[in-house]
Amino acid sequence: MASPTPCFHCGLPVPAGSRFHAQVLGATRELCCPGCQAVAEAIVAGGLEHYYTHRSETAANPQNLPQALPDELALYDRAEVQAPFVQHQGELSETCLLIEGISCAACGWLIEKHLRNLPGIAEAHLNLSTQRLQVRWTDSQLPLSQLLKELRKIGYAGHPWQADSAAAQLARENRRAMRELGVAGMLWMQVMMATMATWPEFNVDLSPELDRILRWVSLFLTTPIVFYCCGQFFRGALRDLRTRHLSMDVSVSLAIGGAYVAGIWSTVTGQGELYFDAVGMFALFLLSGRYLERRARERTAAATAQLVNLLPASCLRLDADGQPRRILLSELQTGERVLVPPGALLPADGRILGGQSSIDESLLTGEYLPQPRRVGDSVTAGTLNVEGPLTVEVEALGDATRLSAIVRLLERAQSDKPRLAEIADRVAQWFLLIVLLVAALVGLAWWQIDASRAFWIVLALLVATCPCALALATPTALTAATGSLHKLGLLLTRGHVLEGLNQIDTVIFDKTGTLTEGRLALSAIHPLGELDGDACLALAAALENRSEHPIARAFGRAAQAAEQVDSVPGQGLQGSVGGRQLRIGQPAFVSQLSGQSAPPIPGAQGQWLLLGDGQGPLAWFVLDDRLRDDAPALLAACRARGWQVLLLSGDSSPMVAEVARQLGIEQARGGLTPDAKLAELKKLHAQGHRVLMLGDGVNDVPVLAGADISVAMGSATDLAKTSADAVLLSNRLSSLVQAFGLARRTRRIIVENLVWASLYNGLVLPFAALGWITPIWAALGMSLSSLLVVLNALRLTRSPKP
């Protein structure tokens, strides 16, 4: 099969026979759907078509954004709804919106430019790292609902955003880390000038009085570095000592604390060497390493953390007289009746009172086909109503829903998560033991030889061997590797992923949306009459043109639309094309039209739909969830590493076995509940396996949270993304294969760095023990070894060989 043209806007394949075009950058571009067409035309009309030259990633498909209804947006114009998140300053209103659909830096440019061109907007600033838009506007000229609509026009969804305590704390920590870094940097430069002037190597003719002044000045300047900037090291050391660990923090604190206390002693007495510059350099290097690591990991993690919007923001409540009224979800009570139109998410758990439809539960259960539901059946909050309108009596809300039960399962799994040992901490432990032992021996020896020099030699030894390079070895390598992975489309949100990838021996895959595309695609057409496949497809597409059913999307958008289309939930569609009465759907339903008996379904695989008219059946359409193209390569990469591969799916259809057969997975199980998946994981853990989980749905969330390493697909639910350690933003499984390779290289670089750092410290030890090390040599050695470690780590930023 020839690969289809990618949509110019969103990059998804353009369905065959699509008639959506737009004039962009002086050429006619093929687009996949009216959503992309509308967005592309709006961008061009706004004079912002250069967005397409700037962008480095394709845009998000506008139809994948959560749908908002016009009257839902209008709710945001109500003053009491706005009150929690909008501030007023005279004419101007100010708020912060969380933007969904941002794929690269050009999106930020597009949003800011588009909004600033609107009348009534005073200021629009998008923070690309957190994906939050700060906007100030005149409410009388441009209501908030209009502003949100403008964002949708160019393909983004805005959600009112309120800082919760976790986000506020994260922001505070970020700013504090920045301040600590800045203070350490600026003060260190001053300390260096003052301290170096007292060294004999630089000393020209320093009067004793000035020497004393300079000592006091450097003490004065070093104090904030130690107490303000290095607090985190001391706190970490204290924590590790309490749990009887010798970690990097202990080692770092010992070096900083030792050099500082000795500096005070030497300042007061006017005797001995000053190591204040080493304190500053040490603090600055380590803080930079930690700051970069923090930034690299946080990027979009902070933004996605906010979007746990599995439930709709509003719903249609039926009043006593049966009239629907749109209210906020928070106003809904149990026992009330809600109307759920087709295409809408169910706001609460409940029972169907009226109507018939099918419900898409794929995110919750992994079932890839919508399940038929009728009066009396129960439905679950967060699932999608596909076909017909439903009247539902609310039985459980908020924390009592099945959805929340999964979230609680997630919290439990997270607390049980095993911690992978970090190589740097083990090295630090040995290193520290050896240094302390040697220092004690050297101190004893010098005590016998020359008691007056013993203290200074032990101090020089501690400072010179201070594990600056050792402490930088891991964070620099991880930062560099995290940056390269981000370019590949894999976002790491937790630090242990790269190191942990090397300890994995078992991989669990989810099926729907992970190994497969997660949406139905047309896999075959079998014509039955004289009409050929293309003609049948055109007729079917015309019938399915307006439907919201996931099946309809597989047919693409047709040039012509059928008239008088009726949807019979659970059965199919009926309509007329060019005066010809047609039906598509279940064989029995379609055959009724011609009065013939229904033909048997010729195959078992996938969803079979019949198209027919008054004369008889025309064609079979086979719909299937396609395997991702790069799934076999990923499986091969896993096997090449000798990993055990499992497929655990919530889907109970024979599709599970079929996918397992195609990919050669021996251990495949379908129809699993989230609990059962978690139990499976616990069993693997009990056998001592290290598990990598790749998944996307809400039903995978507990396993994602509990696995040693978890990766969520970029198209996954937000809850899955936040509970995973890494997010495959690009949805390309091949990025994961490259990540495996990069993880291996990262480990090698970390080991190299650790070896080099230990080697330097080992080499310097005898010289320090002999008393040859003065502050200048300590400073030189420390900065050179740190530089080497950083440069070595930078090799990881070169893009890995495919």
Partner 1 sequence: MSALYILIPVALLLVGFAIWLFFWAVDSGQYDDLEGPAHSILFDDEDPMHKAGVEQAQKPDERPDNQEPPRA
Q: How far is the CB of 440 from partner 1 (least distance, A)?
A: 39
Which one is catalytic: 240, 360, 510, 700? 510
C-beta closer to partner 1: residue 183 or 264? 183
Which of 42, 105, 528, 593 contacts partner 1 by CB under 8 A? Answer: 105
**Which amino acid belongs to residue 662?**
Q
| CB of residue 22 to partner 1, shortest distance in Å | 18
Paired tokens of 323: 């009239």
| Cβ proximity of 505 and 549 under 8 Å | no
Comparison of 124 and 363: residue with beta carbon closer to partner 1: 124
The Cα–Cα gap between 492 and 751 comes to 21
Using CB under 8 A as the criterion, what x/- string covers residues 52-71 for binding partner 1? Answer: -xx-----------------
Taking the complex as a whole, the smallest distance from the CB of residue 796 to partner 1 amounts, in Å, to 20
DSSP state of 13: B
The answer to whether the CB of 575 falls within 8 A of the CB of 613 is no
**Which amino acid makes up residue 33?**
C
Q: How far is the CB of 105 from partner 1 (least distance, A)?
A: 4
Is residue 50 near partner 1 by the rule CB under 8 A? Answer: yes
Parallel/antiparallel/unpaired status of strands 314-318 and 337-340 = antiparallel
Residue 533 in contact with partner 1, rule: CB under 8 A: no
Select the residue interacting with partner 1 from 108, 572, 706, 714 (CB under 8 A): 108
Task: Kindly state the helix (H) or strand (E) to which residue 353 belongs, with its residue range.
Answer: strand 349-354
**Nearest in space to 499 (alpha carbons), one of 690, 720, 785, 247:** 690
List binders of partner 1 among 259-298 (CB under 8 A): 295
Q: Is residue 479 a contact partner of residue 793, using CB atoms and an 8 Å limit?
A: yes
Q: Which stretch binds partner 1 (CB under 8 A): 175-183, 534-542, 605-613, 651-659?
A: 175-183
Could you tell me what percentage of the chain is helix, strand and coil, using 3-state DSSP and rounding each to the nearest 5? 50, 20, 30
Residues 580-609 that bind partner 1 (CB under 8 A): none
Q: Give the residue with the Cβ less far from partner 1, 153 or 486.
A: 486
Cβ count near 487 (within 10 Å): 13
Q: Supply the minimum distance, in Å, between the C-beta of residue 231 and partner 1.
A: 16
Q: Which of 78, 179, 426, 795 binds partner 1 (CB under 8 A)?
A: 179
Phi, psi of 601 (to 5 degrees): -70, 120
Number of residues located near partner 1, criterion CB under 8 A: 35
Report if residue 182 touches partner 1, rule: CB under 8 A: yes
CA distance 241 to 228: 21
- Name which position in 31, 81, 148, 187 contacts partner 1 (CB under 8 A): 187
- Cα(606)–Cα(521) distance, rounded to whole angstroms? 10
**Rounded distance, CA 677 to CA 668, Å?**
12
Listed ranges 203-211, 651-659, 669-677, 731-739: which one lies at the site for partner 1 (CB under 8 A): 203-211
Which of 186-194, 318-326, 634-642, 788-796 is the region at the interface with partner 1 (rule: CB under 8 A)? 186-194
| Sign of the C-alpha dihedral computed for residues 184, 187, 193 and 196 taken in this order | negative
Q: How far is the CB of 174 from partner 1 (least distance, A)?
A: 7
Helices 34-45 and 144-153: crossing angle in degrees, nearest 10, is: 110
Minimum distance of partner 1 from residue 52's CB (angstroms):
12
DSSP string, 608-677: EEEEEETTEEEEEEEEEEEEPTTHHHHHHHHHHTT-EEEEE-S--STHHHHHHHHHT-SEEE-S--HHHH
Piece of 171-179, 420-428, 649-657, 770-778 that binds partner 1 (CB under 8 A):
171-179
Is the CB of 134 or the CB of 503 nearer to partner 1?
134
- Under the binding rule (CB under 8 A), the answer on residue 172 touching partner 1 is no
Start-to-end CA distance of the chain, whole Å, equals: 25
- Distance (Å, whole) CA 355 – CA 392: 9
**376 alpha-carbon distance from chain centroid:** 39
Nearer to partner 1, 290 or 337 (CB): 290
Residue whose CB is less far from partner 1, 169 or 330 = 169
- What is the closest distance, in whole angstroms, from the C-beta atom of residue 109 to partner 1 in the complex? 5
Site for partner 1 in 294-323 (CB under 8 A): 295
Burial class (CB in 10 A: 0-12, 13-18, 19+), 686: exposed
Figure out which of the listed residues 127, 380, 502, 523 binds partner 1, where binding follows CB under 8 A. Answer: 127
**193 contributes a contact to partner 1 by CB under 8 A:** yes
Residue pair 59/39 in contact by the 8 Å Cβ criterion: yes
Question: Is residue 532 annotated as part of the catalytic site, yes or no?
Answer: no
Tell me the three state secondary structure of residue 282: helix
CA distance 269 to 34: 80
- What's the closest the beta carbon of residue 355 comes to partner 1, in angstroms? 47
As a whole number of angstroms, the distance between CA 757 and CA 783 comes to 11
Residues in region 130-169 near partner 1 by CB under 8 A: 130
Binding pattern for the stretch 9-48 against partner 1, x by CB under 8 A and - elsewhere: --------------------------------------x-
Taking CB under 8 A as the criterion, the residue among 178, 328, 531, 751 binding partner 1 is 178
Q: How far apart are CA 485 and CA 724, in angstroms?
A: 16
Stretches 211-219, 668-676, 684-692, 747-755: which one binds partner 1 (CB under 8 A)?
211-219
Q: Which of 174, 371 has the CB closer to partner 1?
A: 174
User: Which residue, chain included where needed, has tokens 């979800």?
Assistant: 329
Nearer to partner 1, 183 or 423 (CB): 183
Shorter beta-carbon distance to partner 1: residue 294 or 682: 294
- Residue 109 makes contact with partner 1 by CB under 8 A: yes
Beta carbon nearer to partner 1, 175 or 580: 175
Smallest separation (angstroms) from partner 1 to the CB of 287: 14
Is 751 among the residues that bind partner 1 (CB under 8 A)? no
Which DSSP helix (H) or strand (E) runs through 157?
Answer: strand 157-160
Per the listing, tokens 């497809």 go with: 537
Instruction: Out of 59, 97, 126, 151, name the contact with partner 1 by CB under 8 A.
Output: 126
Considering the complex, what minimum distance in angstroms separates the CB of residue 472 from partner 1? 21
Spatial separation of the C-alpha atoms in residues 506 and 60, rounded to whole Å? 32
For residue 358, give the 3-state DSSP assignment. Answer: strand
Angle at which helices 144-153 and 105-116 cross, to 10°: 130
Q: Which is nearer to partner 1, 132 or 152 (CB)?
A: 132
Number of H helices, E strands in the chain: 28, 29
Minimum Å gap between C-beta 200 and partner 1 is 17
What's the CA gap between 547 and 566, in Å, rounded? 10
Pick the stretch among 172-180, 274-282, 535-543, 608-616 that binds partner 1 (CB under 8 A).
Answer: 172-180
List the one residue from 129, 223, 673, 783 that touches partner 1 (CB under 8 A): 129
Residues tagged active-site: 510
Name the site residues for partner 1 (rule: CB under 8 A). 47, 50, 53-54, 105-106, 108-109, 112, 126-130, 171, 174-175, 178-179, 182-183, 186-187, 190, 193-194, 205, 207, 210, 213-214, 217, 220-221, 295
